[in-house]
Structure formats: structure tokens, C-alpha cells
Amino acid sequence: MEELKRRILQEGRHLGQGILKVDAFLNHQVDPQLMMACGQEIARRMVHLQPTKVFTAEISGIAPALTTAYVLGVPLVFARKHRPVTLPPDALHVQVPSPTKGGLADLWLSPEWMHPEDRVLIVDDFLASGRTILALARLVRMAGAQVVGVAVLIEKVFQNGRDALQPLGVPVLSLVRIARFEGPHVVFAE
């Protein structure tokens, strides 16, 4: 997606160790027009999977997941990172390593919002190692639902996350693929 590439080149910053800062339009300040364009593109390319829910992790995945869900006309469900008092006692829980925060991150899902008949499209901001998406897929399976596809805005190809997702056996869509960083410069994959 050319507009997303352009914004990464203009406003993104490589912080070292494979971390790309995109706070200007995605992870702190959100550009709603760009997110709507991303959601439209994801929906256009994944609608054939007939998802009944879009699922993501709190917080950075919410913007692209919301616009995708809006275009598809289905609900958005997001995994909570902290257990609020409103979650029922039978809430589903997994932990995943967090490279940007260090240590483990919790992901919580209320079984009220995911059911065995659901066909779930996982949407997130980044695909790096694949661990967060695999944790989301575990929550979907724990709820008895089916993952039908994965879509991300930015894939860091050099971290091999796509390979880690192969056991899911579902289509994986990346709007932008980064092959590597050369110092501060982003090199996109073909």
C-alpha cells in the first residue's frame, strides 16, 4: 500500500534492534484517514473469508482492526492487556513475550464475545516474530472459534513471523513488508 509506505518513509523512525517507531500516525497519534484506507484495503482483500468477527490486541491493533471491522460490517473484539473487574470468572487468558515493553504481556478475552460459530479475522499493526498473533489465535481456539485469516499493516520480514504463523493454515496479508533496516533507512521487500 503506497500511502502507508510513504508515511513510514516520511514519519517512521528505526530505533535500532528492529523496532520501528510509527507514533506519528499509528501507535500514539492515529491518522483516521490512513487507518480507514488500510481497513478498506484489508477488507477488500479478506472479505472472501467471510469473517464474522475481527480480533486484535489492545491497544495499537485497535485502529486498523476497527476500520476493517467497520468496512466488513462485523463486530470488533479486542483482547485486554489488563484484567478489568468487569471480566467474568471464566475469562480466557494467555501470556506473550513483549519485545517493546520487556517481559510478558497478558491477553484476556471474555467468552461472552467469541463463540464456536465465529469465523475470526485477526488484524494487528505489526507482524514481527508472530508471537502476539499466535497468542490471539490461541484465545480464539480456547473460545471454540475458528481463525480464518490474519492481516497486518506492517510485516518485518527479517523476523520470520510469517513462518511462525504457518501452522495456523490461514492466509496472511501484509499491507507493507519491510525486508530490513540499513541504519535509519527502511528497505521494503518486493
- As a whole-number percent, the residues of the chain with pLDDT over 90 amount to 88
**pLDDT confidence tier of residue 1, bands split at 50, 70 and 90:** very high
Of 106, 50, 101, nearest to 73 (Cα)?
50
d(CA 19, CA 100): 8
The pLDDT tens digits of the residues spanning 63-97 come to 999 999 999 999 999 999 999 898 999 999 999 98
Query: What is the distance between the alpha carbons of residues 25 and 32, in angstroms, rounded to a whole number?
Result: 8
End-to-end CA distance of the chain: 12
In the predicted model, is pLDDT for residue 98 greater than 90? Answer: no
Per-residue model confidence (pLDDT) at position 190 = 79
Q: pTM of the entire structure?
A: 0.96
Q: What is the pLDDT of residues 51-62, one digit of tens each?
A: 999 999 998 899
Q: How far apart are CA 7 and CA 71, in angstroms?
A: 22
Band of the pLDDT at 132, cuts 50, 70, 90?
Answer: very high
Contact 98, 134 (CB under 8 A): no
The answer to whether 114 and 52 have CB atoms below 8 angstroms apart is no
Would you state the pLDDT for residue 28? 93
Whether residue 151 is predicted with pLDDT greater than 80 in this model: the reply is yes
- All structural domains of the chain: 2-188 (3.40.50.2020)
- In whole angstroms, give the CA distance from residue 94 to residue 130: 15
